[in-house]
């Protein structure tokens, strides 16, 4: 197995374990403090992994980012597919570790994404738009290099914090299909029935971000 795939799995595992762990262990986003805690847990996870594995794989740890990078012409389809499979596997491992920890503590929940009754269109739009913004920042801040430049990891991590602060009240914030798939598998029920949205919308947002980036960067 290529080491790029290994580190993508590892990075996504850390992201899910830390981010979803913050959500579960803090009882969900029920206060401003909890929202900020969860947002920074996800963002700081990206910063940590960017400077750990960025020179090896670029630290995508998100299928929507990988999809966008592929559409922007920076990687082959075969390599992108390998990244995405590795990311989902890593996310499942992260959720599994979290499930063991929280189950032993008597805590319920896996940090799965979801939306309330009548909120489907709000969730669909939010996940699309915030993923679009996030992936556009990723593509712009890493332009001209296959790996993360010096400050890209910090910029990307802080953007993810910003996205979470705004989007958590809507869906719990996905903008990352792997981050949604893994917790949903452990949660079952409604999380599984709503999972399609957290795959389709972020992937569409990532694709449009790549197309927009190709236009504004002159790489049509």
* Domain assignment present for 82: yes
* Domain assignment present for 193: yes
Split into its structural domains, the chain has a count of: 1
Return the SS3 of 121: helix
Give the span between the Cα atoms of 187 and 37, in whole angstroms: 22
* Domain assignment present for 155: yes
Per-residue pLDDT of the chain (220 residues; tens, 9 = 90+): 699 999 999 999 999 999 999 999 887 666 888 999 999 999 999 999 999 999 999 999 999 999 999 999 999 999 999 999 999 999 999 999 999 999 888 887 889 999 999 999 999 999 999 999 999 999 999 986 544 457 899 999 999 999 999 999 999 999 999 999 999 999 999 999 999 999 999 999 999 999 999 999 876 6
The pLDDT of residue 149 is 59
3-state secondary structure 83-114: HHHHHHHHHHHHHHHHHHHHHHCCCCCCCCCC
* Domain assignment present for 37: yes
Range of the domain at 17: 3-215
The pLDDT of residue 145 is 53
What CATH code is carried by the domain that includes residue 112? 1.20.1080.10
Nearest alpha-carbon partner for 156 in 128, 184, 171, 176: 176
* Domain assignment present for 220: no
Give the global pTM: 0.93
With vertex at residue 140, the alpha carbon angle to CA 85 and CA 170, rounded to the nearest 5 degrees, is 65
* Domain assignment present for 170: yes
The pLDDT of residue 146 is 46
Give the span between the Cα atoms of 109 and 173, in whole angstroms: 15
* Domain assignment present for 22: yes
* Domain assignment present for 62: yes
């Amino acid at each position: 197995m290529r080491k790029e795939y290994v580190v993508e799995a590892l990075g996504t595992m850390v992201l899910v374990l830390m981010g979803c762990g913050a959500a579960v262990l803090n009882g969900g986003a029920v206060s401003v403090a909890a929202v900020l805690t969860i947002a920074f847990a996800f963002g700081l996870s990206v910063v940590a992994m960017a400077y750990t594995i960025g020179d090896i794989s670029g630290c995508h740890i998100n299928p929507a980012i990988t999809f966008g990078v592929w559409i922007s012409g920076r990687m082959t389809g075969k390599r992108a597919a390998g990244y995405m499979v590795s990311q989902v596997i890593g996310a499942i491992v992260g959720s599994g570790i979290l499930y063991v920890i929280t189950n032993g503590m008597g805590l319920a929940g896996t940090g799965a994404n979801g939306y309330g009754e009548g909120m489907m269109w709000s969730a669909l739009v939010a996940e699309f738009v915030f993923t679009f913004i996030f992936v556009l920042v990723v593509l712009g801040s890493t332009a001209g290099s296959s790996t993360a430049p010096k400050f890209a990891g910090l910029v990307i991590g802080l953007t993810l914090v910003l996205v979470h602060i705004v989007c958590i009240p809507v869906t719990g914030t996905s903008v990352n299909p792997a981050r949604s798939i893994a917790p949903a598998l452990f949660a079952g029920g409604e999380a599984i029935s709503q999972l399609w949205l957290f795959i389709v919308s972020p992937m569409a947002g990532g694709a449009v971000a790549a197309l927009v980036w190709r236009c504004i960067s002159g790489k049509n």
